[in-house]
Amino acid sequence: MSEKVEVMDTPKETTPAKSGGVAGHFKKWWWVYLAVLIVVVLVVVLPVVYVAYPKIAQKDINKSSLEVTSMVISKPTADSFYLNQTQTIINHASYHPKLYAFEAAVSMLGLTSTVAKVLVPTSHANNGAEIHIEQTVNITDATQFDYFAAYLLGTEEFPLNIYGKPHLKEGSLPKISVTYNKTVVMKGLNQLEGFEVTGFNILTTEEDGKNMNGTLLIPNPSVVTLSMGNVTLNLGVEGTALGYIYVEDLVLAPGNNSVPMTATVNETSIIEMLSSNSSSLSDGVVPFTITGNSSVYDGVVLPYFTAALQALNLTASLNVTEALVEAGL
């Protein structure tokens, strides 16, 4: 029974505390409230910080897009080149997080192997923000780079995929990792559509075996500037090889490129054609076919540009009679 007494006694002792009311209650149980508060804060904040924020950030990254405004490919070797590229971020979201530098894998869309790996510098994902990339890029997969060159020279436009896992930071929120997977549509040189021989002369005195010179018009509707080195093209007529066109240090910048050329043409053969086959070449106009032969930079054959050039079929109808008359032959 003594136990019962004790139980009855306990509330009596606490009565003075109760008279202190709510304050007393908190004084005794403050740690419970603190614990509950911490749990509530964690339950509310943690998911926001570690679930909602990464989701929102990823969603915004997904929504943003990229536009390559300029790409300069220079100093090409068989397995590397110098890249100077400017791209613009298009981001209409209200968050403009900091995107840390990351290694991006560039690939032709739909192909898993990468064309090249490029280090993208730290940027702020503001709308219209420009990212400059300037570095020597190693061609890690020659086959993929062949595809890139073929698409660049041969198509009107082609998709290029950029993939990476950059870290991102928004204000004072923690640094998180997001997936960057963007496809940009690049304009290509469209098989050099609009190619023209805008002028040519027959040289009466040969230099290095070159007996023709002139000017080529090569349109480049893309944003890419390409250094292709010393380019050789094959000249033919109706399947008969007639010689070569040479362009030294060919650099194709965006827009119309007017470049000087020299050529070695089998004049004997052409004159024979002009005189013997009066049916097709009677007006003195020779329908030349031109295909790529090679691209050589600093004595090194560039396999990717060489292959892309060889896939081209160009034509140029030239009034050879007129040129012969002008040359006084």
Ligand X SMILES: *[C@@H]1O[C@H](CO)[C@@H](O)[C@H](O)[C@H]1NC(C)=O
Residues making contact with ligand X (CB under 6 A): 55, 58-59, 62, 70, 84, 86, 134, 138, 163, 181, 183, 199, 201, 203, 213-215, 219, 229-230, 232, 234, 248-249, 255-256, 260, 266, 268-269, 272-273, 276-277, 279, 283-285, 293-294, 297-298, 310-311, 313, 319, 321-322, 325
Minimum CB distance to ligand X smaller for 24 or for 154: 154
We find the least distance from the C-beta atom of residue 271 to ligand X, in angstroms, to be 9
Minimum CB distance to ligand X smaller for 100 or for 163: 163
We find the least distance from the C-beta atom of residue 60 to ligand X, in angstroms, to be 9
226/82 Cα distance (integer angstroms): 11
Torsion of CA 212, 312, 194, 69, to 10 degrees: -120
**Contact in structure between 214 and 204 (CB atoms under 8 Å):** no
Distances 300 to 79, 139, 145, 146 between C-alpha atoms, Å: 11, 15, 16, 16
Minimum CB distance to ligand X smaller for 25 or for 75: 75
We find the least distance from the C-beta atom of residue 124 to ligand X, in angstroms, to be 19
Structure tokens at 304: 């990717």
Structure tokens at 187: 């304009």
Helix H or strand E encompassing 160: strand 157-164
Minimum CB distance to ligand X smaller for 96 or for 182: 182
The DSSP bridge pattern shows strands 65-74 and 224-237 to be parallel
Minimum CB distance to ligand X smaller for 21 or for 209: 209
We find the least distance from the C-beta atom of residue 105 to ligand X, in angstroms, to be 8
76/306 Cα distance (integer angstroms): 12
We find the least distance from the C-beta atom of residue 27 to ligand X, in angstroms, to be 47
Minimum CB distance to ligand X smaller for 24 or for 269: 269
The candidate with the shortest Cα–Cα distance to 152, out of 256, 257, 72, is 72
293/232 Cα distance (integer angstroms): 5
We find the least distance from the C-beta atom of residue 325 to ligand X, in angstroms, to be 5
143/243 Cα distance (integer angstroms): 30
Minimum CB distance to ligand X smaller for 88 or for 319: 319
Minimum CB distance to ligand X smaller for 9 or for 206: 206
By CB neighbour count within 10 A (0-12 exposed, 13-18 middle, 19+ buried), where does 277 fall?
exposed
We find the least distance from the C-beta atom of residue 227 to ligand X, in angstroms, to be 7
Structure tokens at 124: 């702020």
Q: Which residues touch 197 (CB under 8 Å, ≥6 apart)? A: 214, 215, 216, 217, 261, 288, 316, 318
